[in-house]
Structure 1
Amino acid sequence: MTGNVAPRIGGNPAPARRPAGVVTRVELTWIEKRIEHWIRFGHITDEQILNHKHRIVSFAPGNIFAFARWAANDYGTIISRIDIVRAVAPGTPYQTLPFVRPGGDILLKVSGWPKVERVLQAVDAIEALDIDPVDVAPNYWRHVHNRLTVVQEPRSYTRTQHHAWRLRQRAEP
Protein backbone atom coordinates (compact mmCIF):
# COMPACT_ATOMS: atom_id res chain seq x y z
CA MET A 1 0.00 0.00 0.00
CA THR A 2 1.36 3.41 -0.94
CA GLY A 3 0.28 6.86 0.24
CA ASN A 4 -3.36 7.22 1.24
CA VAL A 5 -4.66 4.61 -1.19
CA ALA A 6 -6.44 1.78 0.62
CA PRO A 7 -6.13 -1.80 -0.65
CA ARG A 8 -9.19 -3.16 -2.44
CA ILE A 9 -11.17 -5.99 -0.88
CA GLY A 10 -13.87 -7.61 -2.98
CA GLY A 11 -13.80 -4.69 -5.43
CA ASN A 12 -14.44 -2.09 -2.72
CA PRO A 13 -11.74 0.07 -1.15
CA ALA A 14 -10.78 -1.15 2.30
CA PRO A 15 -11.35 1.38 5.06
CA ALA A 16 -8.31 3.46 5.98
CA ARG A 17 -6.63 2.33 9.21
CA ARG A 18 -6.47 4.63 12.27
CA PRO A 19 -4.30 4.22 15.35
CA ALA A 20 -5.94 2.33 18.22
CA GLY A 21 -7.66 4.49 20.81
CA VAL A 22 -8.60 7.31 18.41
CA VAL A 23 -11.77 5.71 17.05
CA THR A 24 -15.22 4.67 18.16
CA ARG A 25 -15.74 0.94 17.69
CA VAL A 26 -19.08 -0.72 17.05
CA GLU A 27 -19.58 -4.46 17.52
CA LEU A 28 -21.84 -5.91 14.82
CA THR A 29 -23.54 -9.29 14.93
CA TRP A 30 -25.52 -10.96 12.18
CA ILE A 31 -27.30 -14.20 13.03
CA GLU A 32 -30.07 -14.40 10.44
CA LYS A 33 -33.56 -13.93 11.91
CA ARG A 34 -32.18 -13.85 15.49
CA ILE A 35 -29.74 -10.97 16.05
CA GLU A 36 -29.10 -8.40 13.35
CA HIS A 37 -26.91 -5.36 14.12
CA TRP A 38 -25.90 -3.19 11.19
CA ILE A 39 -24.70 0.27 10.21
CA ARG A 40 -27.30 2.12 8.12
CA PHE A 41 -24.92 4.97 7.23
CA GLY A 42 -21.53 6.30 8.26
CA HIS A 43 -17.96 6.39 6.99
CA ILE A 44 -16.22 3.31 8.36
CA THR A 45 -12.49 3.87 8.90
CA ASP A 46 -11.60 0.29 9.83
CA GLU A 47 -13.22 -3.13 9.88
CA GLN A 48 -12.14 -6.20 11.82
CA ILE A 49 -13.89 -9.44 10.85
CA LEU A 50 -13.94 -11.76 13.87
CA ASN A 51 -15.88 -14.59 12.20
CA HIS A 52 -18.75 -14.98 9.73
CA LYS A 53 -21.25 -13.65 12.32
CA HIS A 54 -19.29 -10.95 14.12
CA ARG A 55 -17.23 -7.94 13.12
CA ILE A 56 -16.08 -4.64 14.59
CA VAL A 57 -16.22 -1.41 12.60
CA SER A 58 -14.59 1.87 13.59
CA PHE A 59 -15.44 5.53 13.06
CA ALA A 60 -13.17 8.57 13.27
CA PRO A 61 -13.98 11.30 15.82
CA GLY A 62 -16.74 13.60 14.58
CA ASN A 63 -18.17 11.03 12.15
CA ILE A 64 -21.93 10.52 12.41
CA PHE A 65 -23.33 7.03 11.91
CA ALA A 66 -26.61 5.14 12.31
CA PHE A 67 -26.47 1.91 14.29
CA ALA A 68 -29.55 -0.34 13.94
CA ARG A 69 -30.29 -3.32 16.17
CA TRP A 70 -32.97 -5.95 15.83
CA ALA A 71 -33.38 -9.22 17.73
CA ALA A 72 -36.02 -11.92 17.97
CA ASN A 73 -36.72 -15.13 19.80
CA ASP A 74 -39.15 -18.00 19.13
CA TYR A 75 -42.09 -15.71 19.96
CA GLY A 76 -41.20 -12.72 17.79
CA THR A 77 -39.28 -9.45 17.87
CA ILE A 78 -37.78 -8.55 21.24
CA ILE A 79 -35.86 -5.41 20.24
CA SER A 80 -35.97 -3.01 17.34
CA ARG A 81 -33.95 0.18 17.70
CA ILE A 82 -31.80 2.68 15.88
CA ASP A 83 -29.29 5.17 17.27
CA ILE A 84 -27.67 8.01 15.37
CA VAL A 85 -24.37 8.73 17.05
CA ARG A 86 -21.44 11.11 16.59
CA ALA A 87 -18.08 9.44 17.29
CA VAL A 88 -16.17 11.27 20.02
CA ALA A 89 -12.56 12.39 20.26
CA PRO A 90 -10.37 11.15 23.13
CA GLY A 91 -11.04 13.14 26.30
CA THR A 92 -14.45 14.31 25.09
CA PRO A 93 -17.54 13.56 27.24
CA TYR A 94 -19.78 10.84 25.82
CA GLN A 95 -22.85 8.74 26.54
CA THR A 96 -22.59 4.99 26.78
CA LEU A 97 -24.41 2.77 24.34
CA PRO A 98 -24.43 -1.04 24.12
CA PHE A 99 -21.96 -2.42 21.57
CA VAL A 100 -20.36 1.03 21.05
CA ARG A 101 -16.93 1.62 22.61
CA PRO A 102 -16.25 3.91 24.31
CA GLY A 103 -19.64 5.50 23.52
CA GLY A 104 -20.64 8.60 21.63
CA ASP A 105 -22.69 11.75 21.36
CA ILE A 106 -26.17 10.25 20.89
CA LEU A 107 -28.14 12.47 18.52
CA LEU A 108 -31.16 10.18 18.11
CA LYS A 109 -32.28 7.12 20.04
CA VAL A 110 -35.56 5.37 19.25
CA SER A 111 -36.94 1.92 19.82
CA GLY A 112 -39.99 0.09 18.54
CA TRP A 113 -40.45 -0.79 14.90
CA PRO A 114 -42.87 2.05 13.95
CA LYS A 115 -40.37 4.70 15.15
CA VAL A 116 -37.36 2.86 13.69
CA GLU A 117 -39.18 2.61 10.37
CA ARG A 118 -39.91 6.37 10.49
CA VAL A 119 -36.19 7.13 11.05
CA LEU A 120 -35.24 4.85 8.15
CA GLN A 121 -37.76 6.71 5.97
CA ALA A 122 -36.19 10.05 7.01
CA VAL A 123 -32.75 8.70 6.05
CA ASP A 124 -34.12 7.53 2.68
CA ALA A 125 -35.68 10.97 2.07
CA ILE A 126 -32.35 12.67 2.79
CA GLU A 127 -30.54 10.33 0.42
CA ALA A 128 -33.20 11.06 -2.22
CA LEU A 129 -32.03 14.70 -2.04
CA ASP A 130 -28.50 13.48 -2.91
CA ILE A 131 -27.30 14.39 0.58
CA ASP A 132 -25.15 11.97 2.57
CA PRO A 133 -26.89 11.47 5.96
CA VAL A 134 -23.44 11.75 7.57
CA ASP A 135 -23.36 15.41 6.52
CA VAL A 136 -26.81 16.33 7.87
CA ALA A 137 -26.95 18.95 10.63
CA PRO A 138 -26.74 17.11 13.99
CA ASN A 139 -29.62 19.24 15.28
CA TYR A 140 -31.87 17.72 12.62
CA TRP A 141 -31.32 14.24 14.10
CA ARG A 142 -32.13 15.68 17.55
CA HIS A 143 -35.29 17.20 16.07
CA VAL A 144 -36.36 13.82 14.64
CA HIS A 145 -35.67 12.17 18.00
CA ASN A 146 -37.70 14.77 19.91
CA ARG A 147 -40.66 14.69 17.51
CA LEU A 148 -40.86 10.89 17.47
CA THR A 149 -40.60 10.81 21.28
CA VAL A 150 -43.82 12.86 21.54
CA VAL A 151 -45.52 10.98 18.67
CA GLN A 152 -45.30 13.91 16.24
CA GLU A 153 -44.23 13.88 12.62
CA PRO A 154 -40.71 15.31 12.16
CA ARG A 155 -40.22 18.05 9.59
CA SER A 156 -38.45 17.04 6.40
CA TYR A 157 -34.81 17.98 5.92
CA THR A 158 -34.44 20.37 2.98
CA ARG A 159 -31.66 21.41 0.62
CA THR A 160 -32.00 24.98 1.93
CA GLN A 161 -31.57 23.80 5.52
CA HIS A 162 -28.56 21.72 4.48
CA HIS A 163 -27.00 24.64 2.60
CA ALA A 164 -27.43 26.87 5.67
CA TRP A 165 -25.80 24.18 7.85
CA ARG A 166 -22.81 23.92 5.50
CA LEU A 167 -22.36 27.72 5.46
CA ARG A 168 -22.52 27.79 9.26
CA GLN A 169 -19.83 25.10 9.47
CA ARG A 170 -17.50 27.17 7.28
CA ALA A 171 -18.15 30.34 9.32
CA GLU A 172 -17.36 28.73 12.72
CA PRO A 173 -13.73 28.93 13.88
Structure 2
Amino acid sequence: MTQSPLGERVPSSIAAPLRHDHTEIELIWIEKRLEYWIRFGRISGERILTRKTRILSFRPDAVIAFVRWSANDYGTVHSRIDILRAVRSREPYTTVPFVRPGGELLLSIQGWPRVRSVIEAIDQVESVGLDPCDIAPDHWRHVHNRLSAGEPFRAYTAERHQAWLKRKALGQ
Protein backbone atom coordinates (compact mmCIF):
# COMPACT_ATOMS: atom_id res chain seq x y z
CA MET A 1 0.00 0.00 0.00
CA THR A 2 1.09 3.55 -0.76
CA GLN A 3 -0.20 6.91 0.48
CA SER A 4 -1.72 9.51 -1.81
CA PRO A 5 -0.82 13.20 -1.25
CA LEU A 6 -4.06 13.46 0.76
CA GLY A 7 -2.95 10.69 3.13
CA GLU A 8 -5.32 8.07 1.73
CA ARG A 9 -4.00 4.54 1.31
CA VAL A 10 -4.06 3.14 -2.24
CA PRO A 11 -2.78 -0.20 -3.58
CA SER A 12 0.76 0.00 -4.99
CA SER A 13 -0.41 -1.42 -8.31
CA ILE A 14 -2.72 1.59 -8.75
CA ALA A 15 -0.06 4.11 -7.70
CA ALA A 16 2.51 2.76 -10.20
CA PRO A 17 3.24 5.11 -13.12
CA LEU A 18 1.38 4.49 -16.40
CA ARG A 19 4.31 4.86 -18.79
CA HIS A 20 7.75 6.38 -18.44
CA ASP A 21 7.54 8.15 -21.81
CA HIS A 22 4.30 10.00 -20.96
CA THR A 23 3.74 13.11 -18.90
CA GLU A 24 1.44 12.59 -15.94
CA ILE A 25 -0.60 15.24 -14.16
CA GLU A 26 -2.20 14.61 -10.80
CA LEU A 27 -5.64 16.15 -10.39
CA ILE A 28 -7.20 16.75 -6.99
CA TRP A 29 -10.68 17.93 -6.12
CA ILE A 30 -11.80 18.82 -2.60
CA GLU A 31 -15.06 20.76 -2.77
CA LYS A 32 -14.67 24.49 -2.07
CA ARG A 33 -11.02 23.98 -0.97
CA LEU A 34 -8.76 22.60 -3.66
CA GLU A 35 -9.31 22.05 -7.37
CA TYR A 36 -6.70 21.01 -9.94
CA TRP A 37 -8.10 20.51 -13.42
CA ILE A 38 -7.18 20.40 -17.10
CA ARG A 39 -8.66 23.24 -19.19
CA PHE A 40 -7.50 21.63 -22.45
CA GLY A 41 -5.26 18.79 -23.55
CA ARG A 42 -5.58 15.41 -25.26
CA ILE A 43 -5.63 12.76 -22.55
CA SER A 44 -4.05 9.42 -23.45
CA GLY A 45 -4.72 7.61 -20.17
CA GLU A 46 -6.31 7.95 -16.76
CA ARG A 47 -5.94 6.30 -13.36
CA ILE A 48 -8.31 6.93 -10.48
CA LEU A 49 -6.44 6.76 -7.19
CA THR A 50 -9.20 7.84 -4.81
CA ARG A 51 -12.53 9.62 -4.98
CA LYS A 52 -10.63 12.91 -4.85
CA THR A 53 -7.48 12.12 -6.82
CA ARG A 54 -6.75 10.88 -10.32
CA ILE A 55 -3.75 10.92 -12.64
CA LEU A 56 -4.00 11.79 -16.32
CA SER A 57 -1.39 10.79 -18.86
CA PHE A 58 -0.38 12.75 -21.99
CA ARG A 59 1.72 11.71 -24.99
CA PRO A 60 4.92 13.58 -25.85
CA ASP A 61 4.34 16.95 -27.58
CA ALA A 62 0.78 17.26 -26.24
CA VAL A 63 -0.07 20.83 -25.20
CA ILE A 64 -1.93 21.04 -21.90
CA ALA A 65 -3.50 23.79 -19.79
CA PHE A 66 -3.29 22.86 -16.08
CA VAL A 67 -5.25 25.01 -13.61
CA ARG A 68 -4.69 25.00 -9.84
CA TRP A 69 -7.01 26.77 -7.42
CA SER A 70 -7.27 26.72 -3.63
CA ALA A 71 -9.38 28.56 -1.07
CA ASN A 72 -9.94 28.88 2.65
CA ASP A 73 -12.92 30.12 4.69
CA TYR A 74 -12.36 33.67 3.43
CA GLY A 75 -12.07 33.01 -0.32
CA THR A 76 -9.48 32.23 -2.98
CA VAL A 77 -5.96 31.79 -1.65
CA HIS A 78 -4.13 30.73 -4.78
CA SER A 79 -4.93 30.42 -8.47
CA ARG A 80 -2.54 29.53 -11.25
CA ILE A 81 -2.59 28.29 -14.83
CA ASP A 82 0.31 26.63 -16.61
CA ILE A 83 0.27 25.82 -20.31
CA LEU A 84 2.98 23.33 -21.12
CA ARG A 85 4.11 20.93 -23.79
CA ALA A 86 4.66 17.34 -22.72
CA VAL A 87 8.32 16.50 -23.31
CA ARG A 88 9.91 13.50 -24.97
CA SER A 89 12.25 11.17 -23.15
CA ARG A 90 15.65 12.80 -22.39
CA GLU A 91 14.39 16.26 -23.41
CA PRO A 92 15.03 19.13 -20.97
CA TYR A 93 11.99 20.29 -19.01
CA THR A 94 10.79 22.64 -16.31
CA THR A 95 9.39 21.07 -13.17
CA VAL A 96 5.81 21.98 -12.28
CA PRO A 97 4.10 20.77 -9.10
CA PHE A 98 1.87 17.74 -9.72
CA VAL A 99 3.32 17.25 -13.22
CA ARG A 100 5.70 14.33 -13.76
CA PRO A 101 8.33 14.68 -15.00
CA GLY A 102 7.57 18.26 -16.06
CA GLY A 103 7.19 20.02 -19.37
CA GLU A 104 8.25 22.81 -21.66
CA LEU A 105 6.56 25.79 -20.03
CA LEU A 106 4.78 27.98 -22.57
CA LEU A 107 2.80 30.08 -20.08
CA SER A 108 2.71 30.34 -16.30
CA ILE A 109 0.39 32.89 -14.70
CA GLN A 110 -0.70 33.41 -11.08
CA GLY A 111 -3.49 35.47 -9.56
CA TRP A 112 -7.17 35.14 -10.39
CA PRO A 113 -7.56 38.26 -12.59
CA ARG A 114 -4.69 37.17 -14.84
CA VAL A 115 -5.73 33.50 -14.77
CA ARG A 116 -9.20 34.63 -15.87
CA SER A 117 -7.54 36.55 -18.74
CA VAL A 118 -5.78 33.37 -19.88
CA ILE A 119 -9.04 31.42 -19.72
CA GLU A 120 -10.64 34.18 -21.84
CA ALA A 121 -7.73 33.83 -24.32
CA ILE A 122 -8.44 30.09 -24.51
CA ASP A 123 -12.14 30.80 -25.04
CA GLN A 124 -11.23 33.25 -27.82
CA VAL A 125 -9.16 30.58 -29.62
CA GLU A 126 -12.08 28.14 -29.35
CA SER A 127 -14.51 30.80 -30.63
CA VAL A 128 -12.48 30.97 -33.87
CA GLY A 129 -13.14 27.23 -34.25
CA LEU A 130 -9.64 26.07 -33.31
CA ASP A 131 -8.50 23.59 -30.70
CA PRO A 132 -6.14 25.32 -28.20
CA CYS A 133 -3.97 22.16 -28.32
CA ASP A 134 -3.19 22.77 -32.00
CA ILE A 135 -2.32 26.46 -32.15
CA ALA A 136 1.16 27.97 -32.36
CA PRO A 137 3.04 27.52 -29.06
CA ASP A 138 4.42 31.03 -29.58
CA HIS A 139 0.92 32.42 -29.00
CA TRP A 140 0.91 31.09 -25.41
CA ARG A 141 4.38 32.60 -24.87
CA HIS A 142 3.05 35.91 -26.25
CA VAL A 143 0.05 35.81 -23.88
CA HIS A 144 2.36 35.04 -20.94
CA ASN A 145 4.76 37.89 -21.76
CA ARG A 146 2.02 40.48 -22.34
CA LEU A 147 0.09 39.58 -19.17
CA SER A 148 3.32 39.58 -17.15
CA ALA A 149 3.99 43.12 -18.42
CA GLY A 150 0.41 44.22 -17.71
CA GLU A 151 -0.29 44.76 -21.39
CA PRO A 152 -3.10 43.44 -23.62
CA PHE A 153 -2.28 40.51 -25.87
CA ARG A 154 -3.14 39.96 -29.53
CA ALA A 155 -6.03 37.68 -30.40
CA TYR A 156 -5.22 34.44 -32.20
CA THR A 157 -6.89 34.50 -35.61
CA ALA A 158 -7.52 31.99 -38.39
CA GLU A 159 -4.93 33.89 -40.47
CA ARG A 160 -2.28 33.52 -37.75
CA HIS A 161 -3.12 29.85 -37.53
CA GLN A 162 -2.70 29.37 -41.29
CA ALA A 163 0.70 31.09 -41.10
CA TRP A 164 1.67 28.77 -38.20
CA LEU A 165 0.63 25.68 -40.19
CA LYS A 166 2.72 26.81 -43.18
CA ARG A 167 5.76 27.47 -40.93
CA LYS A 168 5.26 24.07 -39.29
CA ALA A 169 5.09 22.36 -42.71
CA LEU A 170 8.43 23.92 -43.63
CA GLY A 171 10.00 22.49 -40.48
CA GLN A 172 10.02 25.90 -38.76
Deviation (angstroms), 1:44: 0.4
Deviation (angstroms), 1:75: 2.4
Distance 1:56 1:105 in 2: 19
TM-score by length of 2: 0.88
Where does 1:1-173 land on structure 2 (aligned, <5 Å)? 20-172=19-171
Distance 1:113 1:71 in 2: 11
Distance 1:75 1:128 in 2: 34
Distance 1:32 1:125 in 2: 28
Distance 1:158 1:145 in 2: 17
Distance 1:51 1:121 in 2: 31
Per-residue CA distance 1:51-90 (angstroms, 9 max, x = gap):
1110000111100010000001122211101000000001
Aligned residue pairs, count? 156
Per-residue CA distance 1:136-162 (angstroms, 9 max, x = gap):
100000000000001001110010000
Structure 2 unaligned spans of 5+: 1-17
Per-residue CA distance 1:75-119 (angstroms, 9 max, x = gap):
221110100000000100000000000000000000000000000
Distance 2:19 2:113 in 1: 37
- Amino acid aligned to 1:167: K
Structure 1 unaligned spans of 5+: 1-18
Distance 1:154 1:52 in 2: 39
- Amino acid aligned to 2:46: E
1:7 is aligned to: none
- Amino acid aligned to 2:122: V
Q: Which runs of 4+ in 1 moved over 3 A?
A: none
* SS state at 1:156 partner: coil
- Amino acid aligned to 1:55: R
Distance 1:127 1:20 in 2: 30
* SS state at 2:161 partner: helix
